[in-house]
């Protein structure tokens, strides 16, 4: 990738400069995106100092398994998240005041505080159950937790996406090895379109600078590997450029590119002609800076609007791409 990485504020400022109409939305979420990134970095550093174990003895990221990867099972698939509650409560203390200042969330402040800031329960803690339900895509359990808390499911989903993210990013960071590829990027070990750590679909994709490898499917169509980015646990992984992350179809004519007319600044939608799903993607092959991917995903909401008009569905539903 390019040498210089932007933070949230820098990426949002760059987007606002070229798309002034988006500035009110971008600025409205700058505080919570910045706070989430800072919390993730803080928790990751603490886990590194504790050799991967949380202070409260919380969950640990399992070792990478090639056999599980071949079966399409992510690292956290089926893994109990007992003990994540302490880190979730900690992030909620910082993020809830910011989130409750956004639109309709304020009306549910008391219920959200009761859910996320309650004293820890040694057994059956709702925060642990929420994390497991989100990662497993367990809608019945999620709906039950929302009903018991007196929260609309969409409000709990919106808040959970932010509050669960820093602890999960700290877990995912345990897999990193200084100066080496992540294990899921070794020799195409992970071939799924969903996250190799938490199973979430990506919110963004990007193309990095080209490297010559005529036999590499990740480099087709002008060079440069395609990467997908998970906003829940912050993991990135390489993916085949001619394949759909959602339905798995690949080959000529499967993936199409949609750009705005005029100066696109490398911003585009990669969409599947088979299942009509799409993923916002930014081409960084000629860029000297790498944007913050969470901020960039929000900054491409104008293309989400274009996709909605074309009847396309986002790979990852977010508060800004459901119209």
Scan for tokens 């309709």, then name that residue: 104
Q: Are residues 284 and 305 in the same domain?
A: yes
Task: Please give the pLDDT value at position 57.
Answer: 60
Tell me the three state secondary structure of residue 20. helix
Q: Which residues contact 27 (CB under 8 A, 6 or more apart)?
A: 12, 16
Look at residues 114, 143, 173 and tell me which one is the last residue of a structural domain: 173
Scan for tokens 């956004």, then name that residue: 102
CA dist., res. 222 & res. 212, Å (int): 10
CA dist., res. 27 & res. 46, Å (int): 30
Task: Please give the pLDDT value at position 179.
Answer: 53
CA dist., res. 222 & res. 300, Å (int): 23
Task: Tell me whether residue 115 is exposed, middle or buried, using C-beta atoms within 10 angstroms of its C-beta: 0 to 12, 13 to 18, 19 or more.
Answer: buried
pLDDT tens by residue, 20-57: 999 999 999 999 999 999 999 999 999 877 664 544 56
CA dist., res. 63 & res. 15, Å (int): 38
Q: What tokens were used for 208?
A: 């990095």
Q: Which domain holds residue 122?
A: 29-173
Task: Please give the pLDDT value at position 244.
Answer: 97
Q: Are residues 196 and 150 in the same domain?
A: no
Scan for tokens 């993730």, then name that residue: 40
Beta-carbon neighbour count of residue 84 at 10 Å?
A: 24
Q: Are residues 226 and 295 in the same domain?
A: yes
Instruction: Give the chain's domain count.
Output: 2
- Please write down the long-range contacts of 7-11, taking CB distance under 8 Å and 24 or more positions apart: 7/34, 7/37, 7/292, 8/33, 8/34, 8/37, 8/292, 8/294, 8/295, 9/34, 10/291, 10/292, 11/291, 11/292, 11/295, 11/296, 11/299
Q: Are residues 305 and 191 in the same domain?
A: yes
Q: Are residues 143 and 188 in the same domain?
A: no
Beta-carbon neighbour count of residue 320 at 10 Å?
A: 17
Q: In 3D, which of 28, 23, 45, 5 has the Cα closest to residue 319?
A: 28
pLDDT tens by residue, 70-97: 999 999 999 999 989 999 999 999 999 9
Q: Are residues 38 and 163 in the same domain?
A: yes
Q: Are residues 151 and 224 in the same domain?
A: no
Q: Are residues 199 and 236 in the same domain?
A: yes
Q: Are residues 165 and 230 in the same domain?
A: no
- Greater confidence, 285 or 133? 133
Tell me the three state secondary structure of residue 153. helix
pLDDT tens by residue, 156-203: 999 999 999 999 999 999 886 655 678 999 878 899 999 999 999 999
- Return the percentage of the chain with pLDDT > 70, whole number: 89
Q: Are residues 115 and 186 in the same domain?
A: no
Q: In 3D, which of 206, 174, 257 has the Cα closest to residue 5?
A: 206
Task: Please give the pLDDT value at position 223.
Answer: 63
Angle (CA) 52-58-63 rounded to 5° is 45
Judged by average pLDDT, the poorest of 109-118, 198-207, 222-231 is 222-231
Longest dimension (CA), the chain: 57
Tell me the three state secondary structure of residue 266. coil
Look at residues 173, 204, 233 and tell me which one is the last residue of a structural domain: 173
Is there a contact between 183 and 66 (Cβ–Cβ < 8 Å)?
no
Q: Give this prediction's pTM.
A: 0.91
Q: Are residues 150 and 265 in the same domain?
A: no
Residues constituting the chain: 323
Q: In 3D, which of 71, 77, 43 has the Cα closest to residue 198?
A: 77
- Greater confidence, 145 or 320? 145
CA dist., res. 59 & res. 169, Å (int): 12
């Amino acid at each position: 990738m390019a040498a210089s990485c932007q933070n949230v504020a820098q990426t949002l400022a760059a987007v606002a400069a070229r798309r002034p109409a988006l500035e009110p939305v971008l600025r409205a979420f700058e505080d919570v995106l910045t706070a989430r990134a800072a919390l993730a970095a803080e928790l990751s550093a603490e886990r590194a100092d504790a050799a991967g174990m949380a202070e409260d003895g919380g969950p640990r990221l399992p070792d990478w398994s090639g056999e599980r990867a071949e079966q399409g099972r992510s690292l956290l698939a089926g893994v109990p998240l007992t003990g994540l509650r302490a880190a979730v409560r900690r992030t909620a203390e910082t993020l809830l005041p910011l989130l409750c200042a956004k639109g309709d969330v304020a009306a549910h402040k008391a219920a959200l505080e009761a859910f996320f800031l309650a004293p820890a329960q040694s057994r059956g803690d709702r925060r642990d159950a929420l994390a497991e339900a989100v990662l497993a895509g367990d809608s019945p359990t999620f709906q039950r937790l929302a009903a018991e808390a007196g929260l609309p499911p969409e409000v709990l989903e919106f808040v959970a996406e932010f509050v669960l993210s820093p602890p999960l990013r700290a877990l995912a960071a345990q897999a990193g090895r200084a100066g080496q590829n992540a294990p899921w990027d070794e020799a195409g070990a992970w071939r799924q379109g969903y996250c190799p750590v938490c199973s979430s679909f990506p919110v963004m994709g990007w193309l990095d600078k080209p490297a010559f490898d005529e036999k590499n499917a990740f480099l087709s169509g002008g060079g440069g590997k395609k990467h997908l980015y998970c906003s829940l646990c912050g993991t990135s992984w390489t993916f085949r450029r001619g394949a759909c992350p959602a339905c798995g179809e690949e080959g000529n004519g499967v993936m199409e590119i949609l750009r705005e007319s005029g100066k696109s600044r490398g911003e585009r939608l990669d969409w599947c002609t088979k299942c009509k799903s799409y993923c916002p993607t930014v081409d960084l092959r000629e860029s000297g800076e790498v944007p913050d991917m969470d901020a960039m995903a929000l900054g491409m909401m104008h293309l989400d609007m274009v996709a909605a008009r074309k009847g396309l569905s986002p790979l990852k539903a977010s508060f800004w791409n459901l119209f």
